Amino acid sequence: MGHDHDHDGHDHDHGSTLSPIEARVRALESLLIEKGYVQPAALDALIERYEHQVGPHNGARVVARAWVDPSFRARLLADGTPAIAELGIGGRGGEHMVVVENTPETHNLVVCTLCSCYPWPVLGLPPVWYKAPAYRARAVLDPRGVLADFGLRLPDTTRITVWDSTAETRFMVLPMRPAGTDGLDEAALAALVTRDSMIGTGLPLSPGDAA
């Protein structure tokens, strides 16, 4: 459901560079393997999937294709799931995708107010803040303030539409293509697409930012 607001790598380095959370994850991995709850090969396969097959780089490919291929863009906006599947992307958590397009007049923001439904095959693991009650509540009540917290200040004339994801329908934002990118190929364009720009809490990078 949309709400309009018209105002306003699996690394085994065991050196001292591990953060506390990384150290805890490594310890948990070791314990699970030692107790026989998880096979090392299965764990490596799972990590490989989330590092290389599932993640925001998939969504970035979708966005870049839409930027360069008007017919694909039209299919994507008309019915997101089969269009995304054309790029070999899909699966559990990405069955009922709706893609909403940012324009100079409208900016889209995605939230899941009831839980934390998220299109994992396209965007990978959800950021911690996406699940936080403060984000889930304020995104609907004060989207302009939430965007400002992320450093994104839009003109007062820009309408902000908030899309509430559910287990049945998961939303993804198609951000506007940055200026100065006419000479870039699809791979270079994909490198400009950030996870936050596909949630709506950010914008794509400019070519200078990416460099």
Structure tokens belonging to residue 157: 């004339």
- Please identify which of the residues 16, 30, 71, 116 carries the catalytic annotation: 116
118, 94 contact by CB (below 8 A): no
Structure tokens belonging to residue 165: 């994801």
Geometric angle at alpha carbon 201, from 196 and 207, rounded to 5°: 55
66, 73 contact by CB (below 8 A): yes
- Please identify which of the residues 16, 19, 30, 117 carries the catalytic annotation: 117
Q: CB within 8 A of 159, min separation 6: which ones? A: 4, 5, 6, 105, 106, 107
What is the sign, positive or negative, of the torsion defined by CA atoms of 153, 185, 90, 121? negative
Instruction: Please indicate whether residue 30 is annotated as part of the active site.
Output: no
29, 43 contact by CB (below 8 A): yes
Instruction: Please indicate whether residue 117 is annotated as part of the active site.
Output: yes
Is 116 annotated as a binding-site member? yes
CB atoms inside a 10 Å sphere around CB 58: 24
If you ran DSSP here, which 8-state letter would residue 95 be given?
S
- Please identify which of the residues 112, 165, 197, 206 carries the catalytic annotation: 112
Q: Decide: helix, strand or coil at residue 10.
A: coil
Is 117 annotated as a binding-site member? yes
Structure tokens belonging to residue 125: 């693991």
Is 112 annotated as a binding-site member? yes
Instruction: Please indicate whether residue 165 is annotated as part of the active site.
Output: no
- Please identify which of the residues 115, 165, 197, 206 carries the catalytic annotation: 115
CA–CA distance, 196 with 189 (Å, rounded to integer): 16
Is 19 annotated as a binding-site member? no
Binding residues: 112, 115-117
Q: Which residues are catalytic?
A: 112, 115-117
* Residue numbering of the annotated binding site for Fe(3+): 112, 115-117
